[in-house]
């Protein structure tokens, strides 16, 4: 059974263009994502899944230089990109993470994968329908068969961009698991990178933990920020998932949806 991390990344951010290659605490953000994902005990491979847009040539060039595997597919059809990347790298299970989450937690990844396997699930996430982890620590786990099912059964652009919504709407087709934390930490801070202020927050956190040799996870980050409230205040009230929210408002057929961040 081959478990592959797919890091979803592109250069075309409207609020912070080129952010995935932005230097944060001494190295490009996408390398933080790859390095921290690579600390997982259960994954077998890491692939950056970007688009064929010429803007993303820079991502492919960076991956080549760093010996990171790279797959290029549709810019907007996320299902197509994920499924074809999984098939190209012979994955049985796909862990999807986002290129703007440089603090992604390898311990949490292993917990999610272990639960996914134990439950013989088709799909797992740690944010829908219930959010209990801090913003920036989200991930999804898919069986390649679930991705193939979505690929073959819907041409709806909204569902193909946000496949968890399709799974939520078709509960009879998929065994879906929501990984929950013991206590709700979803409001404990914003640890993803969408704005310049986010870069300041993440840099402060990474610089703090760089003093120590051991791995750190989301609970360590929350504890640090609890004692350094000035850090999380910098990006506290910035709006997230703006485009997703706009699209969601147009959908009358979607029930109790939530946002990834």
- pLDDT tier, 253 (very low <50, low <70, confident <90, very high otherwise): confident
Q: Which residues contact 6 (CB under 8 A, 6 or more apart)?
A: 47, 48, 49, 71, 82, 85, 86, 94, 95, 96, 97
Give residue-wise pLDDT tens across range 82-115: 999 999 999 999 999 999 999 999 999 999 999 9
Q: CA 27 → CA 61, 136, 172, 194, distances in Å?
A: 16, 18, 44, 17
In this predicted structure, the answer to whether residue 234 has a pLDDT above a threshold of 50 is yes
Q: CA 29 → CA 12, 53, 125, 166, distances in Å?
A: 15, 20, 22, 30
Average pLDDT rounded to a whole number, residues 113-139: 96
Helix axes 196-209 and 218-227, enclosed angle (nearest 10): 100
Over the chain, what is the mean pLDDT? Answer: 94
Give residue-wise pLDDT tens across range 163-220: 999 999 999 999 999 999 999 999 999 999 999 999 999 999 999 999 886 799 999 9
pLDDT at site 255: 54
Q: Which residues contact 80 (CB under 8 A, 6 or more apart)?
A: 73, 74, 151, 160
pLDDT at site 244: 82
In the chain, the percentage of residues whose pLDDT exceeds 70 is: 97
Cα separation, 157 vs 20, whole angstroms: 24
In this predicted structure, the answer to whether residue 254 has a pLDDT above a threshold of 90 is no
In the chain, the percentage of residues whose pLDDT exceeds 90 is: 85
Query: What are the φ and ψ backbone dihedral angles of 135, each rounded to 5 degrees?
Result: -60, 130
CATH 3.90.550.10 fits 3-249, yes or no: yes
Q: Where are the domains of the chain?
A: 3-249
Cα separation, 81 vs 73, whole angstroms: 5
- Candidates 94, 78, 110, 82; CA nearest to 142 is 94
């Amino acid at each position: 059974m081959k478990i592959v991390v797919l890091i979803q990344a592109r250069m075309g951010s409207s609020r912070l263009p080129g952010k995935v290659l932005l230097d944060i605490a001494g190295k490009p953000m996408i390398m933080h994502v790859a390095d921290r994902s690579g600390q997982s005990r259960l994954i077998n491979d890491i692939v950056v899944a970007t688009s064929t847009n010429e803007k993303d040539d820079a991502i492919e060039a960076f991956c080549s230089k760093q010996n990171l595997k790279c797959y290029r597919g549709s810019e907007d059809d996320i299902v197509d990109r994920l499924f074809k990347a999984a098939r190209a790298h012979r994955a049985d299970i796909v862990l999807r993470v986002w290129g703007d989450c440089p603090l992604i937690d390898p311990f949490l990844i292993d917990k999610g994968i272990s639960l996914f396997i134990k439950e013989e699930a088709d799909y797992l996430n740690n944010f829908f329908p219930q959010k209990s982890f801090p913003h920036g620590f989200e991930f999804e786990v898919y069986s390649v068969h679930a991705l193939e099912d979505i690929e073959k059964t819907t041409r709806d652009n909204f569902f193909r961009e946000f496949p968890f919504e399709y799974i939520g709407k078709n509960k009879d087709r998929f065994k879906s698991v929501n990984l929950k934390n013991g206590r709700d930490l979803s409001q404990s801070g914003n640890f993803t990178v969408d704005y310049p202020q986010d870069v300041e927050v993440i840099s402060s956190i990474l610089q703090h933990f760089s003093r120590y040799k051991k791995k750190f996870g989301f609970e360590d980050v929350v504890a640090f920020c609890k004692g350094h409230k000035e850090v999380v205040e910098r990006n506290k009230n910035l709006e997230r998932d703006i485009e997703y929210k706009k699209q969601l408002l147009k959908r009358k057929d979607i029930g109790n949806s939530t946002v990834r961040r």
